Amino acid sequence: MDAKLFLQAITKFFSGFVLVGLLLFLPAGTFRFWQAWLFLGVLFVPMFAAGLFMMFRAPALLKKRLNAKEEQRDQKLVLLFSAVMFLAAFLVAGFNARFHWLTAPAWVVWAAAAVLLCGYLMYAEVMRENAYLSRTVEVQENQKVIDTGLYGVVRHPMYSATLLLFLSMGLVLGSPISFFILLFYIPIIVLRIRNEERVLDEGLEGYRAYRQKVKYRLVPFVW
């Protein structure tokens, strides 16, 4: 095992856990926010398991994802808008727990948690199918078009998975207001996909033929 990679991964993991916890519990003014504990569990436990799997079975992929840095201007804007969206959604969820503005019933919270876990399972399947999976928009050396499995249904199944993940987060936190804030992910991801497809069209052999074969980008029969 690469000790340096392990330290880098575990530091990022716990930093993320602490940051999200602060964004939720500080505005809530209490640790008695059960939806936040549920959210942290369903978000970070699978993430930890996936990190361990990559550490031992695919360290190169883990290193690539930890060190990802966007070079495209449009993608830097996507990351900025996404950060602002998540910051607003988490803070609002915390304040919503404190002031009880609009709270989702428990059954909605648990149903949303199930959807979030389904998103994780879909994400894991995408990672299994695509060895070139990257956090950045780029064409890698020797990269080939993947057109089997989920890639035979939509062209960007990773983003389909994140759509399930992100749109369920607000409801797991019990905050319909946060859910509506996270709907901004839809135009953000559309911007990212359009830019990514321009890059792949220009740099990845066979991608234009793949676009003709698989018509839908994100959601079957919709877009």
pLDDT, one tens digit per residue, over 83-137 is: 999 999 999 999 999 999 999 999 999 999 999 999 989 988 888 787 666 555 5
The candidate with the shortest Cα–Cα distance to 132, out of 222, 39, 65, is: 65
Kindly tell me the sign of the dihedral angle through the C-alpha atoms of 178, 16, 111, 182: positive
More confident residue, 150 or 23: 23
Q: Encoding tokens for residue 55?
A: 């550490």
Q: Encoding tokens for residue 205?
A: 């052999």
Domains and CATH numbers, the chain: 3-213 (1.20.120)
Displacement of CA 41 from its chain's centroid (Å): 16
User: Using CA atoms, how far apart are residues 163 and 99, in angstroms rounded to an integer?
Assistant: 28
pLDDT of residue 68: 59
pTM assigned to the model: 0.87
User: Using CA atoms, how far apart are residues 140 and 92, in angstroms rounded to an integer?
Assistant: 39
